Structure 1
Amino acid sequence: MYDTAYYDGRDLGCTYSGMESIFRLWAPDARKVSLALYQDAGSYNSEGKVTDHAGGLEIGMKEWKDGVWFLRFFGDLAGRYYMYKIEGRDGGIRYAADPYSRAVSANGARSAIVDLKAWNPPGWEEDKRPPMESLQDSVLYELHVRDFSADPEAGFKYKGKYKAFTETGLRDDEGNKIGIDHLEELGVTHVHLLPVSDFQTVNELRVDDPDSSEPKYNWGYDPQHYNVPEGSYATDPLKPGVRIREFKEMVMALHRKGIRVILDVVYNHTYNVEEGPFEPVVPGYYYRRDAEGKLANGSGVGNELATERPMMRKYILDSVRYWAEEYHIDGFRFDLMGLMDTDTITQIADEIHREVDPSILIYGEPWTGGETPLPLRQQTLKGTQRSKGFSVFNDHFRAAIKGDSDGQGKGFATGRPEMEAEIIEGIKGAVHDFADSPLETINYVTVHDNLNLWDKILKTQGQQMEAGFQEIRDGELVGGGSLREMVERSEPYRSVDKEHVLQSETVKRAILANGIVLTSQGIPMIQAGDELLRTKYGDHNSYRSGDIVNAIRWGNKRKFKPVFDYYRGLIELRKNHPAFRMTSKEQVEKHLKMLRSEDNTVAYMLKDYANGDVWKNIIVVYNANRHEINLDIPFSLTGWKVAVNSKHAGNEALDCIVDEEVAVAGLSMMVLYEEVGGTPRQVKKVEIQYERPDGKYDGWNLWVWGTGYHERRVDFERMENGRAVASFIVPSHVKRIGYIVRLNDWEAKDVERDSYIELGPGQSAATVLIRSGSEHSKKIS
């Protein structure tokens, strides 16, 4: 019956108006369904749950079509609560909240009926998505709602709440911007919020009670009601409309700052099956089972949703579209997207881009949390996103940059040699790995899972013990003791000289890691607080560790302002230069040229006005050595200007390099650029014509020195009048150039002795003839 009872309407749930409310529930195996109406949210027990739903006004619903039960109720029901009373074919009776609930009572105990428009904040109808020309312009910032404002030392009025995002003008003691003004100053384009749909593990009735020992913190990967904002982030979870209004206020505040909003969505599993949003309504349909009939556990938390089933797929499509339209959400990050079949994700991307907004960003984790009965060919893994309109996390690049996620394993930025090839794959936007376009890869080093960036680097350096970290599990110290006391006595920044922050090796490695992310092709993402050297005190799984571990400590901005400025400068550079935001494999192959890939150094050039950039050529260098390196760079008529070095980053010139070699400080990056319109240097053009009686020119080249730069090879570029011709430019002050004509890489010399070309004063050009076997050249002009 499940396979044939498909309902394609987009009106499931409660459709409210002041005149009537219409209820539709898909329950194809039910023998009878009644709507139970209530005046209040019910009686809560000590755990914050409502277990008795009897006593409501129960009205029988009509078995309508395609497995849907229908009821039209005349009159204004705003402010009432409801459940569905379902009698199964086995005779069992169960009460169920509406899977399509748009509002709920505290802790999601009952569905609520609200007039959504009545709860819109002032100005909501005029709220618009911040302009964005294309997805490649995105710079993502992963953030937890409570972490943002929970710092007890910061001046937020609405700590841990949606409304904290509406607080502008907040400053620290030295005038540095914090809160939403900080996000605007940093320059990110999207805030990626950890799950904010209603979840189960925080008791909303006690979350603001300082005397309660119940959990007040979770990341939110324990979903209950997918279409309702979480109540613990609202100022009054007892009023169903408050969370709706305050969530929209948050979205509107971010939009007014030019920042888009992405939701982390968890459509791969639910926290609980029997008390979840699906099983009480249609038992056995929404969850996958293995060959023995047991609940599948590809999520690692006891269940997984059968996204490939038509009405489960429809539910996800409806839910995503609801958030995009009702709450003006600008993107969606799918948790454990490998557990979702590719057809579902593809349909979401197609429908959202076609019918809502093509600039909505869709991406996710292309892996599972364990074994799943979903066939491999249907799992949304790396590569399945090719040309389908969505993106995936690039864990290959992540591992190449930092190493493993929780251990002491190292990557390029943390001290492992011979990682250049893997770094190059990531720099190119994975277009030779798993993507058709750089737009299909999300580049990052760390997110909420696992050790954050600062703590990971401390671990690779063996400094976690010196920092005073102890092992934390499930929000408690392993072996006992006070977590708060451990945090308060720890010294995560003991190696940082507060007067010379950027000289710390740990700081250098952290900046290098995210510097690679922010200057590579693809869509970059940083974790909230990376720009403030955020620590979580060694907790690699802090989902239950509360504010003491998770809160962003805004005082770090004052302490580590040079780090923030560096991040801001890199983001400004990226946003101003489309060369870092190419959109196709063809562009990458045409414009990205490798200059060096060895000895813990990667250097490349974005050449020939890549992607329409105003800079003609851009050189990017990553030096993962502790020591300074010297890098050969191409000659530039106007010189190479430095936009990024070990101390500063941005869009303006810090220095100008006139040599064909540049020194790059240890554990740092550098960005140089060449622009047309700069003041040309006074130079001479030298043309050399080489003549061989035997006419055999293959493999012959010039080795020159004394050119004002470093000695180098110059290849013959064309044949003219039976002679091989090479040309190069030297500074105007050069009067004498040494040369040797050689075969390949010193297999032979035309003549054994060094030879020289004398250049006259005041010459702007010179043409010289070299005849094979002669130690002397002849000036032609």
Structure 2
Amino acid sequence: MEHPHRSRALRLAVAAALATLAASAGTAHAASSSAALCDGEGFQSILSPSAAAFDARAAWVDRRTLAWPGARADARTRLYHAKNAALTAPAGGKVGGADGFLPLDATAAALPERLRYLGEGPVFALREADVARIAGLHRGALLLVSEAADGTVLDATRVQVAGALDDLYAAAEAVPDLGATPRTGGTTFKLWAPTARQVAVCTYDQGTGPSRAATPLRFDPKSGVWSATLAGNLDGKYYRYAVDVHVPGAGIVRNLVTDPYSVSLATDSRRSYIADLASPRLKPAGWDSDAPPAKVAAQPDMSIYELHVRDFSIGDATVSAANRGKYTAFLESGSDGMRHLRALSQAGLTDVHLLPVYDIGSIPEKGCVTPAPAGAADSDAQQKLIGDSKLADCYNWGYDPYHYSAPEGSYSTDPADGGKRVIEFRQMVQALHRAGLRVGMDVVYNHTYTAGQDEKSVLDRVVPGYYHRLDAKGAIERSTCCENTATEHRMMGKLMVDSSVLWTQAYHIDSFRFDLMGHQPRSVMETLQRRVNAAAGRHVNLIGEGWNFGEVADGKCFVQASQLALNGSGIGTFSDRGRDAVRGGGAGDSGRDMVTRQGYVNGLVYDPNGGIQHSPADLLKAADLVRVGLAGTLRTYPLQVYTGEMRELQRIDYGGQPAGYASEPGEVVNYVENHDNQTLYDLNVLRLPASTSTADRARVQVLAAAINAFSQGVAYFHAGFDILRSKSLDRNSFESGDWFNRLDWTYRDNYFGTGLPPAADNGKDYALFRPLLANPAFKPAPADIAFTRDAFRDLLRIRASSTLFRLRTAGDVGQRLRFYNTGPAQVPTVIAGRLDGAGYQGAGFKSVLYLLNVDKAARSIDVPQETGRAWKLHPVHASPAAADRRASEARYDPATGRFTIPPRTAVVFVE
């Protein structure tokens, strides 16, 4: 998910639950029966209501000091406390309901950088004698009050708690076994809930039905962890926690909640599942000997296929009905989909990256529906049916994390069995490994599905106000689309790291793709890298979206894991530089911009589509940005730009940022299409002239793939890119159902023109889309799909044939890559790059020369440096089985060094 443009699934309100208060306050767990305590649902009761709600315009710096920018300099400041959360502080009146107060003294301390979002203002400190009391007072209500000498309230605010809790309970970061740990001698439960007043664990024999026991947990004042060990190995049973905790604005609340460290769940995440993930009962045959194929020696070796579990098989008639859309579809080795993946693997693909497969909050795991739309190519009937059922249907991309460390149940053949999804997930990984593909995971630690007292909130119902990033008034930031997490806080950072370690260790995940990684601190990502490497006993590849936006932008809160701040870390970020140059426009284009903002492969200047008039300089600049991507987007790589100057890539402008930002080629991920925004085929319907044949549209698709395949760094492709995938112009298909997200492994249809896409994100452009969808000339023939499929595989073979396309270091790129046909006298529609293989391990050739002609006509360039050389076509091009016969028509004249490239063709010569 690149930008915060997604709408939300419907959130269940808690107003009805808040209206029902418990008859008595503070009932002890020990005095409650198991049934009374454990057999309700979700939010149980308010034990003591809150008298008033306040913003949180102040924040704890540590256990002793706090910052309140709005404090009155001419007033006294006190921290009032109340065990039963009944504090009132009316302006002009007096504080009511308090058990007492702690005086505060102004200090000369500066506001820490991480709290600058509050605004400048004073920092206060508790008196030494009161510091020891503060941990206990965090279990009730705290209110910071500015008052006159006579006690009249001038202002009042809550205080954001993270700074205090991180300081008070720093020892929790080292606790290795949060969650449920079943062993032969007993089962231990550990929950970090430092502000809770009481915690009990409720255990159950099944995912539904009555509880078996309620057991109080003991509190450790050093770590803030509540724990208990129950007799017997409870592996295969279920549990929840009953947590009594102060919730600002609600009071003292008893929440019946699942475990943030759940490793599996009952249907629809109603209960956490107790599992020994090392138990033989949860291992498919051969699991202990499962290992990834040895295809990736260094990060630039990665070529990735981004795939959604349900998309992969839901429409595949060669998969048994019970397995369609499930993890187990990958076990059917004879299916069309698995044959497709094996063919890609044999061609050189290294990784399949799965869209979110952790527990997802927005997909019903039981009783979901699959609508069957019908209508004309430009009808809005299909999207209406999808829209009416979107909250009940079986589809979502999954950027709605509920439990980070548990497999999603809707992809299991039996979501009611917490063990089944563990086994089936492992079987899927095993099947992909056996197909020669490593397995990556798309993870979304930057936000939660919901927060507060919502039924599907977990973290906030255990430690209210801690896990999310707050603004200057104490509201949760939502720049990522949803409730942003604060991984700069110790225990949210720990949760992200621990979760990634679990997936690495327990599920043999080989690589991770981090959604909106720029919202994470670089330091936490580097800790995560060390931990997953140690867990795997090898390097685990990390890539992510390093976009710089929102409340953390430009390092406002911490050094981000973003494009410009990750250099030198070895962690890869997606590059929009080459992407935008190749396909044109930007990620957020709409309206006529989708048509007029042509890119390097779809007609910029040389094949205008009747939109705005571009200047020749626009094409030259785009060609330079394509070369930036081909050179790995490296900061210090020197390039002769279109003006004739030599510039390091970091001195080439990209929308006010340096075009080159990576220190090493493994730190950049090259792509032209992923799940976000329109597919490239759909963009090319908009950007190529309408008269462009479908055969040429297929060639344009292959040109974009070639640029990606030849670029230094990680190569990343969206599933279906190689078969001209269309989503009927949908720019945001996250909840567009199976209908708009289909894949056809029979290669007969790319599903262009299957109705107007959902109105929520596309309706404003219906007038533009209707005539395009209704025009049968835009529908590719099976022959066009087959050509793209086979030409794409040839490109993978070429990339895999030589490490020169996968150079290891910036030094290697600087030494071995040279561009021809640059500067002001260039043929702007031709790019030529030469790679020197002398003495390079795995080069396979003395030299490699790739040429890309994006023009509609054949073009020639003269390269005097290459006269008299023994260039010949790459063996893949020269093979009788080569998909693109036009590439074999490329010519080299050794007498003059002239290369002639056919129209819309990518070709590789070798020496």
Q: TM-score range by the shorter chain?
A: 0.7 to 0.9
Give the corresponding residue for 1:273.
Answer: 451
Contact 2:672 2:717 in 1 (8 A): yes
For structure 1, which runs of at least 5 residues remain unmatched after alignment? 44-53, 467-493, 497-503, 675-781
Give the corresponding residue for 1:428.
Answer: 631
State the alpha-carbon separation in 2 of the partners of residues 543 and 363 from structure 1.
21
Contact 2:283 2:423 in 1 (8 A): yes
Aligned positions of 1:231-250 closer than 5 A: 231-250=409-428
Structure 1 residues 458-497: Cα deviation after superposition (integer angstroms, max 9, x where no partner): 111265xx9xxxxxxxxxxxxxxxxxxxxxxxxxxx943x
Contact 2:890 2:902 in 1 (8 A): no
State the alpha-carbon separation in 1 of the partners of residues 371 and 900 from structure 2.
56
Match of 1:545 among 730, 736, 749: 736
Between 350-359 and 197-206, report the one with greater CA deviation. Answer: 350-359
Contact 1:365 1:393 in 2 (8 A): yes
Contact 2:600 2:623 in 1 (8 A): yes
- Shift, 1:609, TM fit: 2.6
Aligned positions of 1:49-88 closer than 5 A: 57-64=213-220, 65-88=222-245
2:794 equivalent to 1:569: yes
State the alpha-carbon separation in 1 of the partners of residues 550 and 737 from structure 2.
27
2:818 equivalent to 1:662: no
Aligned positions of 1:373-388 closer than 5 A: 375=556, 377-388=558-569
Contact 1:32 1:86 in 2 (8 A): yes
Aligned positions of 1:355-394 closer than 5 A: 355-367=535-547, 370-372=550-552, 375=556, 377-394=558-575
Residue 182 of structure 2 aligns with an amino acid whose one-letter code is: Y
Residue 395 of structure 2 aligns with an amino acid whose one-letter code is: Y
Aligned positions of 1:73-222 closer than 5 A: 73-89=230-246, 91-116=252-277, 117=279, 118-131=281-294, 132-157=296-321, 158-171=323-336, 178-207=339-368, 213=389, 214-222=392-400
Give the corresponding residue for 1:256.
Answer: 434
| Partner SS for 1:526 | strand
Contact 2:698 2:787 in 1 (8 A): no
2:726 equivalent to 1:535: yes
- Shift, 1:665, TM fit: 1.2
Structure 1 residues 719-756: Cα deviation after superposition (integer angstroms, max 9, x where no partner): xxxxxxxxxxxxxxxxxxxxxxxxxxxxxxxxxxxxxx
Contact 1:643 1:653 in 2 (8 A): no
Distance 1:193 1:171, change over 3 A: closer
State the alpha-carbon separation in 2 of the partners of residues 102 and 377 from structure 1.
30
State the alpha-carbon separation in 2 of the partners of residues 103 and 521 from structure 1.
39
2:696 equivalent to 1:510: no
Residue 607 of structure 1 aligns with an amino acid whose one-letter code is: D
- Shift, 1:369, TM fit: 6.2
Structure 1 residues 203-237: Cα deviation after superposition (integer angstroms, max 9, x where no partner): 11013777995221000000101111101111111
Give the corresponding residue for 1:618.
Answer: 848
- Shift, 1:667, TM fit: 1.7
| Partner SS for 1:279 | helix
- Shift, 1:134, TM fit: 2.1
Structure 1 residues 393-448: Cα deviation after superposition (integer angstroms, max 9, x where no partner): 01111111111244222221122222111111111001131011111000000100
State the alpha-carbon separation in 2 of the partners of residues 29 and 171 from structure 1.
53
Q: TM-score scaled to structure 1, two decimals?
A: 0.76
| Partner SS for 2:705 | helix
Between 528-537 and 205-214, report the one with greater CA deviation. Answer: 205-214
2:772 equivalent to 1:592: no
Residue 20 of structure 1 aligns with an amino acid whose one-letter code is: G
| Partner SS for 2:312 | helix
State the alpha-carbon separation in 1 of the partners of residues 854 and 889 from structure 2.
22
Contact 2:533 2:540 in 1 (8 A): yes
State the alpha-carbon separation in 2 of the partners of residues 231 and 610 from structure 1.
51
Distance 1:209 1:569, change over 3 A: closer
Contact 1:167 1:179 in 2 (8 A): no
Distance 1:107 1:630, change over 3 A: same
Give the corresponding residue for 2:533.
Answer: 353
Distance 1:265 1:323, change over 3 A: same
Structure number with higher relative contact order (C-alpha < 8 Å, ≥ 6 residues apart): 2
Q: Which has the higher helix share?
A: 2
Match of 1:607 among 832, 836, 847: 836
Residue 590 of structure 1 aligns with an amino acid whose one-letter code is: Q
| Partner SS for 1:555 | coil
Q: RMSD of the TM alignment (CA)?
A: 2.5
Give the corresponding residue for 1:636.
Answer: 868
Distance 1:639 1:239, change over 3 A: closer
Residue 844 of structure 2 aligns with an amino acid whose one-letter code is: V
Structure 1 residues 682-739: Cα deviation after superposition (integer angstroms, max 9, x where no partner): xxxxxxxxxxxxxxxxxxxxxxxxxxxxxxxxxxxxxxxxxxxxxxxxxxxxxxxxxx
Residue 681 of structure 2 aligns with an amino acid whose one-letter code is: W
Residue 384 of structure 1 aligns with an amino acid whose one-letter code is: A
- Shift, 1:670, TM fit: 1.5
Give the corresponding residue for 2:685.
Answer: 458
State the alpha-carbon separation in 2 of the partners of residues 72 and 109 from structure 1.
22
- Shift, 1:531, TM fit: 1.0
Count of equivalent residues: 622
- Shift, 1:380, TM fit: 2.0
| Partner SS for 2:601 | helix
Match of 2:518 among 329, 338, 346: 338
State the alpha-carbon separation in 2 of the partners of residues 637 and 40 from structure 1.
73
Structure 1 residues 614-650: Cα deviation after superposition (integer angstroms, max 9, x where no partner): 3112111111211110122412343433457697469
- Shift, 1:341, TM fit: 1.3
Q: Percent identity?
A: 32
| Partner SS for 1:178 | helix
| Partner SS for 2:448 | coil
- Shift, 1:610, TM fit: 7.2
Give the corresponding residue for 1:415.
Answer: 603
State the alpha-carbon separation in 2 of the partners of residues 358 and 79 from structure 1.
31
Distance 1:610 1:277, change over 3 A: farther
| Partner SS for 1:94 | strand
State the alpha-carbon separation in 2 of the partners of residues 513 and 224 from structure 1.
36
Between 180-189 and 279-288, report the one with greater CA deviation. Answer: 180-189
Match of 1:441 among 662, 668, 683: 668
| Partner SS for 2:447 | coil
2:713 equivalent to 1:522: yes
Distance 1:180 1:17, change over 3 A: farther
Contact 1:83 1:97 in 2 (8 A): yes
Contact 2:890 2:907 in 1 (8 A): no
Aligned positions of 1:316-331 closer than 5 A: 316-331=496-511
- Shift, 1:244, TM fit: 0.6
Give the corresponding residue for 1:34.
Answer: 200
Aligned positions of 1:221-236 closer than 5 A: 221-236=399-414
- Shift, 1:324, TM fit: 0.1
Structure 1 residues 172-224: Cα deviation after superposition (integer angstroms, max 9, x where no partner): 9xxxx735434434431000100000001111101377799522100000010
Residue 599 of structure 2 aligns with an amino acid whose one-letter code is: G
State the alpha-carbon separation in 2 of the partners of residues 334 and 639 from structure 1.
42
Distance 1:653 1:414, change over 3 A: closer
Q: TM-score scaled to structure 2, two decimals?
A: 0.65
Contact 1:534 1:552 in 2 (8 A): yes
